[in-house]
Amino acid sequence: MRLGWQTVLGVLALFVIANGVVTMLTEPGPGQWFGVSPAVEPPIDPRALPINRIGLAGEIEADTFTGPSLLSLEMRENVDFLLTPALIVQGAITEGDIVTYPEE
Amino acid sequence: MSPIPKSDRKRSIQPIRRLPSAGAAWLAVVAGLVAVAGDAPPPSAPAPWPVGKAVGAVAFDCVIEEDAPLAGAKTVMFLEYAVSPRAIAYSIVWAEPCWRAIHFPCPPIGTSLYADESSFVVRHALNDVEWRQSLPAEPRGRFMHTCGNYPLVDSRIAYQEARGRRLAVSDMPELEANARSGGLGDGGGFGSPLPDRPGRPPTRISVSDVEPERIGFFFFTFRPDDRRQFEYTLEAGRLKSILTECFEVKVPVGGFEIEAKTPEFPDGVVIEQLPARYHADGRIALVEFSPRSIGEVEVDLPERIRVGTQKRQVVGPDPLRRATMSNYRSLPEMPSADTIGSRFTTDPLFESEQTFRKLTAQHWNRPVVDVDPADAAWLSTFADDCLGMAREEPRLPAKLKLFYMSIASDLMLGNNSRVDSESLPSYLQALRDGGFGGIAEIASSQVADIRANWGRPEGDSEE
């Protein structure tokens, strides 16, 4: 059976359109997150962000923007940990306190 | 037969479809409540919450080992603590590895910290400086520090947060009611809110287990990254351990978020608030307690604290952080904000140590040090004295400090033979004997680097 050039062109056009749709839904472009244009996404309330919302683009940008901050957050953990033994002991020797772990 | 009208068909199908799922959901809720009610203790059973005992002020020694994987640094710090029900204080007696800049916001040795209900004081005795702060009234807010910088005085925010999260005996009725309802409380499955207290954010606790030897609960505040799971283990009413898990927290995308319309930033970029935590793999902390006699009172005090992650387990050989407490003793009087750090200034070696630090700073990292003859004579005597005292010193932090000052003085003067034959091997052996073999390896390589760049070459004696 021979296919007419119209049929071949139609199949090709369908493939291009389908590929475009898949690309748009899976690859965030500039100003896009998770394939959804910011024009249609409601403004994000930072307080409502889920904790682990990072995604592929986020993983890349996290290194760029937060690398220096992460070093300080690591320092914060280690420095604040010096308070921990004292705070636990303080709970244990204070009448009226329930002994607990301070989140350093 | 006439066809069934569309509206009737819809009504006849819906109940059949909805009943099983709705029934299952209700059955699950009822079953859950029955199960929870079955597990919950009877209302009259007293909950064995570990409550503090009044013993006055105590002091103790502590060794803290910390790892900073991002910075590639390992640190061991030797501290002395003083704690009373109203105040805490610590002094950093020694830190290793001591041969280069250490992973800490300031030179740790000689640093003291004091905090009570209203003030926060950091003093550096050797550098003769002091930072005096009040406690913050507001939450931490945006985390602005970068490049490993984090001022020690910002610990006051962590201190204030920890004070706010404390549980008190006055919270117990609420907690026990929460336990009886299986943690459901009146908060729709998130536990009852604790009564408001100054400094405490709106807090809910969901108590999952209260048994004679185990208490489990979840702790929530208004922040999505502020959730912890706690488990106490008790033995014959004595606190044996606290196991707590803080779930994985990562910062938002690069610290930045894209917002469709932001009047302040026409480009549409707003700076996101970085949470003051980055808990990759979560954090798990295990505190082990032992009964100790303070005066005439026996009290359960922490013996060891280990902090790990899902990958670096707390019970494994290489947790993220570790604190080991020892030598608990009663204190006749809690040091005040004005007297912290006095242990350094009253040390007979204090003035000599200051002179030593001034000279080493003056000649630091010079390929060939042309030491003034008077300074060289002073350093030579000082190195002899330090080595002699180090041999006799029983306390590890003081021993390490004396060896360090002897080795550094000898390196500056070019007395390499004594360093190689005695002081350096003894110093490294003291570290290994103390259980810090990894730090001994780091120190050994750092001394080798320093020797290449610092001090008078052997044989280049004073004319």
pLDDT at B192: 66
Q: Bridge-partner residues for A37, per DSSP?
A: none
Do B159 and A76 lie within an 8 Å CB cutoff? Answer: no
ipTM: 0.84
Q: What is the pLDDT of residues B104-131, one digit of tens each?
A: 999 999 999 999 999 999 999 988 899 9
pLDDT, mean over chain A = 64
A1 touches chain B (CB under 8 A): no
List of chain B residues whose C-beta atoms are within 8 Å of the C-beta of residue A89? 58, 60, 81, 83, 301-302, 325
Do B49 and A58 lie within an 8 Å CB cutoff? Answer: no
Q: Which of the listed ranges A43-52, B141-150, B371-380 does the model predict with the highest average pLDDT?
A: B371-380
Are B390 and B402 within 8 A, CB to CB? yes
CA-nearest residue to B156 within chain A is A80
The 3-state secondary structure of chain B, one letter per residue:
CCCCCHHHHHHHHHHHHHHHHHHHHHHHHHHHHHHHHHHCCCCCCCCCCCECCCCCEEEEEEEEEEEECCCCEEEEEEEEEEECCCCEEEEEEEEECCCCCCCCCCCCCCEEEEECCCEEEEEECCCCEEEEEECCCCCCCCCCCCCCCCCHHHHHHHHHHHHHHCEEHHHHHHHHHHHHCCCCCCCCCCCEECCCCCCCCCCEEEEEEEECCEEEEEEECCCCCCEEEEEEEEECCEEEEEEEEECCECCCHHHEEECCCCCCCCCCEEECCCCCCCECCCEEEEEEEEEEEECCEEEEEEEEEEEECCCCCCCCCCCCEEEEEEEEEEECCCCCCCCCCHHHHCCCCHHHHHHHHHHHHHHCCCCCCCCCHHHHHHHHHHHHHHHHHHHHCCCHHHHHHHHHHHHHHHHHHCCHHHHHHHHHHHHHHHHHHCCCHHHHHHHHHHHHHHHHHCCCCCCCCCC
List of chain A residues whose C-beta atoms are within 8 Å of the C-beta of residue B159? 83, 87
Q: How far is B17 from chain A (nearest CA, A)?
A: 33
CA distance B358 to B382: 14
pLDDT at B362 over 60: yes
Amino acid letter for position B233: T
**Burial degree of B167 (CB within 10 A; 0-12, 13-18, 19+):** buried
pLDDT at B367: 55
CA-nearest residue to A78 within chain B is B66
Q: Mutation test of the interface with chain A: which of B51, B106, B253, B296, choosing the one with the most A Cβ atoms within 10 A? A: B253
Do B64 and A90 lie within an 8 Å CB cutoff? Answer: no
CA distance B238 to B49: 10
CA-nearest residue to B285 within chain A is A101
CA B11, distance to chain mean position in Å, is: 62
pLDDT at B455: 60
pLDDT at A32 over 70: no
- Provide the pLDDT confidence category of residue B23 given band limits of 50, 70 and 90: very low
Average pLDDT (B184-193) is 58
Amino acid letter for position B433: D
Q: How far is A3 from chain B (nearest CA, A)?
A: 46
Do A103 and B162 lie within an 8 Å CB cutoff? Answer: yes
pLDDT at B37: 41
Do B166 and A91 lie within an 8 Å CB cutoff? Answer: yes
Among the ranges given (B3-7, B97-101, B253-257, B382-386), the one the predictor scored with the smallest mean pLDDT:
B3-7
pLDDT at B9 over 50: no
The more confidently predicted of residues B187 and B175 is B175
Are A78 and B66 within 8 A, CB to CB? yes
Cβ contacts of B106 within 8 Å, gap of 6 or more: B124, B152
A84 touches chain B (CB under 8 A): yes
pLDDT at A5: 65
pLDDT at B225: 67
The more confidently predicted of residues B21 and B371 is B371
List of chain B residues whose C-beta atoms are within 8 Å of the C-beta of residue A58? 252-254
Interface A:B, Cβ pairs < 8 A: 255
pLDDT, mean over chain B = 81
CA distance B344 to B91: 9
The more confidently predicted of residues B444 and B360 is B444
- Provide the pLDDT confidence category of residue B368 given band limits of 50, 70 and 90: low
Q: Mutation test of the interface with chain A: which of B278, B320, B330, choosing the one with the most A Cβ atoms within 10 A? A: B278
Q: What is the pLDDT of residues B233-290, one digit of tens each?
A: 999 889 999 999 988 776 554 444 433 333 444 444 444 455 666 777 789 999 999 9
